[in-house]
Amino acid sequence: MKYAFILVRYLTALLFVFSGMVKLNDPSGFSIKLNEYFDVFAEDVSTQQDSLFVSMEAIGSLGETLSTTEAEFVQLYSFDGTKEFSILSESDGLDFRYTLQESGMTKGQLDVHDTAVSAHSVKLTLSNGSETQSQLLAASELAATPDYSPSFDVKQWVKPESALRGFFKGLKDYSLWLSGFFCALEVLLGVAMLIGYEMKITVALTAVLIVFFTFLTGYSAYFNKVTDCGCFGDFLKLEPWTSFKKDLVISGMVAILIAGLRHNVAWFSRPFGHKLMATTAAGLSVFAFVCYLYLPVWDFLPYKEGNDIKAIMETLPPGERASDSMRITFVLKKGEDTVHTDAKGYAAWAEKGFEYSDRLEEVIAKGYQWPIHDFSIIDIEKGIDKTEDLLNHKGYQWVFVATFLESAYKPAFESVKPLVKLAASKGQPFYALSSTSSDIAAEFAQANDLGFSFHSTDQKTLMTMARYNPTLYLFNGPVVVKKWSGRHLPSPSVFDSKLMKD
């Protein structure tokens, strides 16, 4: 037991230090992963709201029903106060057509074909199955208002939301702090275990931490909720079941540590251990803070310096599959009998009178997951996709990523203006990217006199590119030459003297 304890102690210590440092190097990245978990938990504990039935009837002048839609479903959400619909009316001179819409989705159409008994009114009904609300709308008013928008008060049908949902959603506001805390704690536990410091407390905290993470990875694996646990940041991606098995192994190692505590021998005296751990904690805090403000020290992201993003997007590594390999099984039925067959046996069973019922698909071998697969640059104002312009450009070009304009570091926008002028003087493209809505982005650019407009890019893509908001990239063609945190943008002279000699 003594030698097993010593071996497991050092292995666990090194694993915790490595895992914690990889994540602490990129606290923003791990906070994104925590937000994924918080969203999953918030969704899973949310109160299931009802679906509402909506229907529309055309009523004649004598109160008779001329035509009616079939009942359609409308989803009720916890934030709903009212449900608003649109009734679009149009006529070709002989017939009237009423189209019911909700949130831009067509719910049903009424056609009144007999002009002699044309609709006197239209009745709109909303129901949760036990209670009903109706509105009777004059056809003349609908005809005068081609896009009429009746609304219903649905607050009484909304079920109270779970307090746990609010708790998990609220945790997202503190995800960056939690990221730094958990990563630093993991490293501290590893260091403490390495030097044999306060092993009873260290092992107890390690046990609590590993039980917590085993639950997370097990939950993710079983329900297929978060496809990468983030255990080793972006350095190493693990599938959910692999992560869960890894945590089970570590749980067994912790059990050995608990059983062999009596064999622990500390490296240092207790007073010196206190000082060493305090110094380590302070150093880790500074390290995490610097990595957050000035980008990770070790960059494992696909947009790191030196990477050709076009090649990454287009190159299939040797031995990898371009797409998933699927096993397709057809379910056929004949009366009470059911058979499962592949494509080869389908015809034979069909000749025996069996008919198609369902199709089952199973992934046998997964296709290659490209590290960059959703990169795009859309000029919303002009409706132009400029992705290929960037990927195929010859020479230097700039990409300024400000994922969320409302929370971006504002002084960076002043610092980037001289660089925008430098790019223009050299005829180099400058792309400003944001996931903020185009209207708000345009207002922001005008209010801050930026001299450039923002292009639209997927939020997840930008959060991968820019660990600090904002981040500036310098490309040469599709190759990343350099990137800087918005906290420390260089002056134009740096580029003339060092980077751009052409």
Q: Which residues pair with 475 in a beta bridge?
A: 397, 480
Cβ contact 238:278 at 8 Å: no
pLDDT band at 93 (very low <50, low <70, confident <90, very high): low
Q: Which residue, chain included where needed, has tokens 């929370």? A: 407
pLDDT at residue 467 in the model: 87
Mean pLDDT of the residues in the chain: 83
Identify the pLDDT of residue 284.
92
Lowest-confidence region among 28-32, 121-125, 230-234: 230-234
Domains of the chain, first to last = 2-44+168-294 (no CATH), 51-157 (no CATH), 325-365 (no CATH), 378-499 (3.40.30.10)
Of the candidates 256, 258, 220, the one whose C-alpha atom is nearest the C-alpha of residue 240 is 220
Amino acid identity for residue 41 in this structure: F
Per-residue CA distances from 218 to 27, 51, 248, 366 (Å): 23, 32, 9, 21
What's the average model confidence in pLDDT over 442-466? 87
Which residues lie closer than 8 Å to 437 by C-beta, 6 or more apart? none
Give the per-residue pLDDT at 108.
Answer: 62
Reported as type and span, the H/E element at residue 22 is helix 2-24
pLDDT in tens, 337-353: 899 998 888 888 888 88
Instruction: Please report the pLDDT score of residue 471 as a whole number.
Output: 92
Q: How far apart are the first and last CA of the chain?
A: 66
Provide the phi-psi class of 395: left if phi over 0, else alpha when psi is between -120 and 50, else beta. Answer: left
Which of 18-32, 38-52, 104-118, 152-166 is predicted least confidently? 104-118
**Tokens matching residue 116:** 């002699």
pLDDT above 90 coverage of the chain, percent: 13
pTM greater than the 0.85 cutoff: no
Work out the average pLDDT over 284-300. 89
Q: CA 300 → CA 21, 128, 257, 297, distances in Å?
A: 13, 51, 32, 10
- Nearest in space to 499 (alpha carbons), one of 491, 216, 51: 491
Grade residue 430 by pLDDT with cuts at 50, 70 and 90.
very high
User: What is the spatial distance between Cα 208 and Cα 212, in angstroms, rounded to a whole number?
Assistant: 6
In 10 A of CB 13, how many CB atoms? 20
Torsion (CA) 95, 101, 104, 106 in degrees, nearest 10: -70
How far, in Å, CA of 502 to CA of 496, rounded?
9
Q: What is the pLDDT confidence band of residue 502, given thresholds at 50, 70 and 90?
A: very low
Confidence of residue 331 (pLDDT cuts 50, 70, 90): very high
**Residue matched to tokens 């490595």:** 18
